[in-house]
Structure 1
Amino acid sequence: RCVLAIGESGNFPAAIKITAEYFPKKDRGFATSVFNSGAQIGALLAPFVIPLLARCWGWEMSFLLVGAVGFVWMGVWVYVYDVPQKSKHVNAAELAYIEQDAAVDASLTERTEEVKSAKGISIWKCLTYRQTWAVVAGRFLPDGVWWFFLFWAPAYVHDVYGYSSDSTTGVLLIFTLYLISMLSIIGGYLPTWFVGRKGMNPYAGRMRAMLIYAFFPLIGLVAQPLGSWSYWFPIVIIGIIGAAHQSWSANVYSVVGDMFPKSAVATVTGIGGMSGGIGCLLFNVCSGMLFTYSKETQMEFLGFRGIEAGYMIVFMVASLGYLLSWVIIKLLVPRYQLIEE
């Protein structure tokens, strides 16, 4: 897990900086949702591929083979990628489209020549900005929710409904969950529509979209009650929450590019990722302790007993977490304000 975390920690800061380099602000939410969908594709393949690798060659080999694919991709990326100003695959019209924000906000944004020579903002300097803490607020609790569902969905299916993660029904349920979560690609386009059709600035359009996404997780409040009818109800609901989360996170990532110079995008994204990791750690540890306690004491909550009562509590926290995070972001950064070096 530690090695995985070290490798993953560099991925999203680099990816967000690249979207800031290759897309104007109005398109970054959609672009982020597209590359972010790679996580769902991996999750769709995992229930079929990983158990097979583990059964044939052992669980250690499943880690090694999947990890090796990452090194192959890294080699391809190093060979193919270049900044748009230097890339032979970007023509003059495309470059003009990419740099349209500089033409619109010439008084607020740096010129191309300034971008090339700009020095990065230090981590400590970034922490003095309210915009950085808005990104932290947007990642801390929502990331905990997402990683809870990612880690605990197989356990939930087993604990409540009795299907193991390698059973046919268990695999089908998890596959359906992540298939639904891929609707986030559609959700990533909403800020682009607000900016292009409604004439809103990128931050206002993104906040409007994120407020809409924050309402979808509220259906998690009825996941457990409906689950007494059929296990498909909570699975579909978790999938919808996952899609809302990925749409949310795509725009939280893009907020960094909206308000910080490109030289600071990776740094602030890394800070946000660290806050999300801490939130994930606390959310999962506390959930595990709650499940152990609820199972041992057979506690009751809203008509549920034992571990089902514990899941009901977690579903409630997960459902309300996005609206709370949105309010904190709005309080910290009520309107669009660009950070200048």
Structure 2
Amino acid sequence: MEINKTKQKRTNARWMTVVFLFIVTAINYGDRATLGIAGKAMSGELGFDAAAMGWVMSSFGIAYVIGQLPGGWLLDRFGSKRVYFFSILFWSIFTLLQGTVHFFIGAWALVMLFTFRFLMGLAEAPSFPGNSRITAAWFPAKERATAVAIFNSAQYFATVIFAPIMGWLTHEYGWQSVFFFMGGLGIFVSAITLFVIRNPKDHPLANQAEVDYIVEGGALVDMDQKKDNGKQEGPKLGYLWQLLTNRMLLGVYLGQYCINCLTFFFITWFPIYLATQRGMNIKEVGFAAAVPAICGFIGGISGGIISDFIMRKTNSLSIARKTPIILGMLFSMTMIMCNYVDSIGLVILFMSMAFFGKGVGALGWAVMADTAPKEMSGLAGGLFNMFGNASSIISPIIIGYIVAWTGRFEWALVFVAGHAFVAAFSYLVLVGPIKRMELKKKD
């Protein structure tokens, strides 16, 4: 008797995993955006000027950059699951503690806010390299940009969801409540990480058909398998020089630095811009800031879908990744038009266009998942994020001083838009062909 063998239907545990990354990243960016919403009320009560707030905002970036290489090394040494859990737990605790700085007097309030913000940045350092490692482990190349776009677009979704909530909390219960709410939410989600983040081969909801599919597509499913079995030590730091001297990666690093300048403007100074220069109250700011964020979310998802569509049609990583990045960055320069209009509606329109373009072009983590050496994807991602987030130190300070010196935001917008142009130039001219870097083995 002939037995008909039917092909096993593929499961979709990889998409459940990326949805969880989306949720974690939304909370991540919600925590970063707390000062953007609560900053005006906080600075008014505690007596901080624009320059002081710029330094406080940059404290996160200072720690975040310092923590990238150690965070990447920890991911490669201990795997994504454990490092991801402790990262979320501790950054949430330090977010919550920022709501207590009013108990300190005078300059000590500023010192403690800077300290808690610094520690939050240090704890968040492994988050995006962890996202990149998990995506590289779970997704074939032809789906990777969409997966990265999903979790990366959470930064816009965070504003859509959390900005109105934080604006309402600030208005009704005071600025302290913003930090208590976001910190408590993160602590709760950290516990869920222990159950959701798994190796593809060990995930109870992923069948063999799905594992085979992602392996055939180039997913690095064994990255954490070796760590869990205790068979591999962390990557050798001697290979770091190869990462630092590779032209393709240097172009990607510069591009990410510039893209993150736009990111940190939108999550830190943009709400303050609406409140101070455009005269909106805190509740209006929360809802107004959500409109460009929705456009950024749509742009972010669109960029990933477009990139993977081009990838399927051309089978060229370079064309598929570069096209949305270059066009998106050039389109985001429309924010300069805000300097020439008085209407709040037009300001929101131009910022929405800029945020949409930034979302389309924010594919740096997809490029990193495509290019990082398989032996040290965590460290490579940490280095990438270290360069990218140097702008989180520099740009808030420069914008703070521009606003303090001029009393307005016109030149600050020019400063941010200029970074979008440099990002497009970097991918167009400097990066060259996009491909996975092969390390030169040492004896």
With the length of structure 1 as denominator, give the TM-score of the two structures: 0.82
C-alpha distance in structure 1 between counterparts of 2:411 and 2:384, whole Å: 29
Q: Secondary structure at the match of 2:200?
A: coil
Q: Is 1:188–2:304 an aligned residue pair? A: yes
Instruction: Select which of 48, 54, 63 maps to 2:164.
Output: 48
List per-residue Cα deviations over 1:299-336 (Å, max 9, x = no partner).
xxxxxxxx254245335424423323324xx4244453
**Match of 2:297, as an amino acid?**
M
Partner of 1:323: 424
CA gap 1:318/1:257 in 2 versus in 1, 3 angstroms: closer
Q: 1:219·1:319 contact (CA, 8 Å) conserved in 2? A: no
C-alpha distance in structure 2 between counterparts of 1:113 and 1:141, whole Å: 30
Q: Is 1:80–2:181 an aligned residue pair? A: no
1:61-76 matched pairs, under 5 angstroms: 61-76=177-192
Higher relative contact order (CA 8 A, sep 6+): 1
Q: Secondary structure at the match of 1:339?
A: coil
C-alpha distance in structure 1 between counterparts of 2:374 and 2:399, whole Å: 37
CA gap 1:120/1:246 in 2 versus in 1, 3 angstroms: farther
Q: Secondary structure at the match of 1:188?
A: helix
Q: Is 1:178–2:279 an aligned residue pair? A: no
Partner of 2:411: 310
List per-residue Cα deviations over 1:271-310 (Å, max 9, x = no partner).
1222222112211211221222223xxxxxxxxxxx2542
Partner of 1:298: none
Report the Cα offset of residue 14 of structure 1. Answer: 0.8
CA gap 1:246/1:87 in 2 versus in 1, 3 angstroms: same
Partner of 1:145: 262
Q: Is 1:258–2:258 an aligned residue pair? A: no
1:201-212 matched pairs, under 5 angstroms: 202-212=317-327
For structure 2, the residue ranges without an aligned partner over 5 or more in a row are 1-116
C-alpha distance in structure 1 between counterparts of 2:238 and 2:323, whole Å: 30
Q: 2:332·2:354 contact (CA, 8 Å) conserved in 1? A: yes
Report the Cα offset of residue 212 of structure 1. Answer: 2.3
C-alpha distance in structure 2 between counterparts of 1:163 and 1:89, whole Å: 48
Aligned length: 316
Partner of 1:237: 350
C-alpha distance in structure 1 between counterparts of 2:337 and 2:162, whole Å: 28
Q: 1:223·1:233 contact (CA, 8 Å) conserved in 2? A: yes
Report the Cα offset of residue 145 of structure 1. Answer: 2.0
Report the Cα offset of residue 74 of structure 1. Answer: 1.6
CA gap 1:79/1:308 in 2 versus in 1, 3 angstroms: closer
Instruction: Select which of 384, 403, 418 maps to 1:291.
Output: 403
C-alpha distance in structure 1 between counterparts of 2:233 and 2:118, whole Å: 31
**Match of 2:423, as an amino acid?**
Y
Instruction: Select which of 242, 259, 272 maps to 1:128.
Output: 242
Q: 1:221·1:316 contact (CA, 8 Å) conserved in 2? A: yes
CA gap 1:312/1:98 in 2 versus in 1, 3 angstroms: closer
**Match of 2:323, as an amino acid?**
R
Partner of 2:276: 159
Report the Cα offset of residue 111 of structure 1. Answer: 9.1
C-alpha distance in structure 2 between counterparts of 1:278 and 1:211, whole Å: 21
Q: 2:273·2:409 contact (CA, 8 Å) conserved in 1? A: no
C-alpha distance in structure 1 between counterparts of 2:189 and 2:259, whole Å: 29
Instruction: Select which of 132, 146, 153 maps to 1:37.
Output: 153
C-alpha distance in structure 2 between counterparts of 1:133 and 1:214, whole Å: 18
Q: Secondary structure at the match of 1:161?
A: coil
List per-residue Cα deviations over 1:142-197 (Å, max 9, x = no partner).
10122012211122213332113x143x3332121211111111221111111112
Q: Give aligned-pair identity as a percent.
A: 18
Q: 2:150·2:301 contact (CA, 8 Å) conserved in 1? A: yes
List per-residue Cα deviations over 1:41-63 (Å, max 9, x = no partner).
22122232224434555433431
**Match of 1:291, as an amino acid?**
V
CA gap 1:115/1:190 in 2 versus in 1, 3 angstroms: farther
**Match of 2:156, as an amino acid?**
Q
With the length of structure 2 as denominator, give the TM-score of the two structures: 0.64
For structure 1, the residue ranges without an aligned partner over 5 or more in a row are 103-108, 296-306
C-alpha distance in structure 2 between counterparts of 1:290 and 1:114, whole Å: 45
C-alpha distance in structure 2 between counterparts of 1:222 and 1:127, whole Å: 42
C-alpha distance in structure 2 between counterparts of 1:96 and 1:27, whole Å: 15
CA gap 1:258/1:38 in 2 versus in 1, 3 angstroms: same
Q: 2:252·2:426 contact (CA, 8 Å) conserved in 1? A: no
C-alpha distance in structure 2 between counterparts of 1:241 and 1:159, whole Å: 20
Greater Cα offset, 211-220 or 181-190: 211-220
CA gap 1:18/1:94 in 2 versus in 1, 3 angstroms: same
